[in-house]
Amino acid sequence: MICGVGIDIIELNRIEALIKRDDRFIDRILTENEQRKFQHLSDYRKVEYVAGRFAAKEAFAKAIGTGIGEVSFKDMEVINNVHGAPYMKVRGYNDNAIYLSISHSKTYAVANVILETRE
């Protein structure tokens, strides 16, 4: 049964500015595994990568109805399966199915999360 839906959209130039301006931004938003992958990306891909994960984590927080606070950015991790499709693991939400979609354009990243109880 669906128990939550969340969506978030973010401007890539906003994320790019945060990456350049705040050395701690990446550490606050990305888990250690996400940071390792981030380090191997081109500068342009780094912006898309962070924006997509930021949007995904915000979308999850909206799906649970609390926003960031009930869960932290570090409690949520976006991983790619063998086909490259993203999925999400969230500390404390192992009993839920989490469906995630992330997309990018030249100027935006958007993510959608559907949260479902397992029956």
**Which residues are tagged catalytic?**
62, 104
DSSP assignment, residue 100? E
Burial class (CB in 10 A: 0-12, 13-18, 19+), 90: buried
Specify the DSSP element, H or E, that contains 56. helix 43-63
User: Cα separation of 52 and 88, whole Å?
Assistant: 12
Q: What is the dihedral of CA 118, 60, 26, 12, to 10 degrees?
A: 130
As separate numbers, helices (DSSP H) first and strands (DSSP E) second, the chain gives 4, 5
DSSP assignment, residue 106? S
